[in-house]
């Protein structure tokens, strides 16, 4: 089903903003949407080199690309991302709020700043980017917002009280917003990845990874490209009647 979106005309001429786009799931989304013909705007937090390399990859696919270093915790920086996107491409068709961090630790060991950093980046960052873009989408009377949550926001995971809270908050935020903007032809959906092959998971100890695999019914990690394909489907006309949904992509982990 998802593969039908993967042609050069599926998103041709559309403009997609992806936060945290220089690596992992964000990078996979950038490339998937570019292959489908969309112009890409992505943000990154630190690595200018990775951002420039990805920009070249995207432009080699025959579409336009704009990268911006931005901190999603800062509403004014989010507003600048939206303004520069409109200035360059005139409209926004898709917003993917992907930027996020983890600072895992048992609650009794967690510092207040570790709680606030994760909430401010994951949850407040999603609010900031969405708030910055929503007037444009409503004026256009069209648009798609995809918010990246996690299975941790559904079932909760030990050592992730800050992360689980931020991701659960994204789900509630998205459901409320979906009801607010549906009549203006703006759709809001949530994607909840499980354990995906990214740098974050790759840095885990091997014994922890083995335990994780035991808990996944499919007995494998997901791929960033699989998450990107789901996002591509949700942004396409094939999903025009889907809004307010929370979709897990986790190999059965949260069944």
Locate 129 and state its tokens.
């980017």
Alpha-carbon separation of residue 223 from 34, 37, 39, 230 (angstroms): 18, 22, 23, 11
CA distance 253 to 232: 22
Alpha-carbon separation of residue 26 from 95, 176, 229 (angstroms): 12, 24, 12
Residue 248 has φ and ψ, to the nearest 5°, of -85, 145
Q: Which residues are catalytic?
A: 163
Q: Is the dihedral of CA 73, 195, 227, 154 positive or negative?
A: negative
């Amino acid at each position: 089903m998802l593969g039908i979106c993967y042609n050069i005309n599926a998103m041709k001429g559309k403009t997609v903003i992806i936060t945290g786009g220089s690596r992992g799931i964000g990078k996979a989304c950038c490339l998937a949407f570019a292959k489908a013909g969309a112009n890409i705007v992505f943000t990154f937090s630190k690595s200018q080199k990775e951002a420039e390399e990805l920009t070249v990859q995207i432009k080699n696919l025959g579409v336009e690309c704009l990268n911006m270093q931005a901190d999603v915790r800062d509403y004014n920086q989010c507003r600048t991302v939206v303004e520069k996107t409109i200035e360059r491409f005139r409209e926004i068709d898709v917003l993917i709020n992907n930027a996020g961090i983890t600072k895992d630790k048992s609650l009794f060991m967690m510092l207040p700043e570790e709680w606030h950093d994760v909430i401010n980046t994951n949850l407040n960052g999603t609010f900031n980017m969405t708030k910055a873009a929503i007037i444009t989408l409503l004026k256009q009377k069209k648009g798609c917002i995809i918010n990246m949550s996690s299975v941790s926001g559904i079932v909760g995971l030990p050592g992730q009280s800050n992360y689980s809270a931020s991701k659960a908050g994204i789900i509630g935020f998205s459901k409320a917003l979906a009801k607010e903007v549906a009549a203006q032809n703006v759709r809001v959906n949530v994607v909840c990845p499980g354990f995906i092959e990214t740098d974050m998971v790759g840095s885990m100890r091997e014994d922890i990874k083995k335990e994780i695999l035991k808990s996944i019914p499919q007995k494998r990690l997901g791929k960033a490209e699989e998450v990107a394909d789901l996002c591509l489907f949700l942004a396409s006309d094939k999903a025009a009647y889907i809004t307010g949904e929370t979709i897990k992509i986790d190999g059965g982990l949260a069944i």
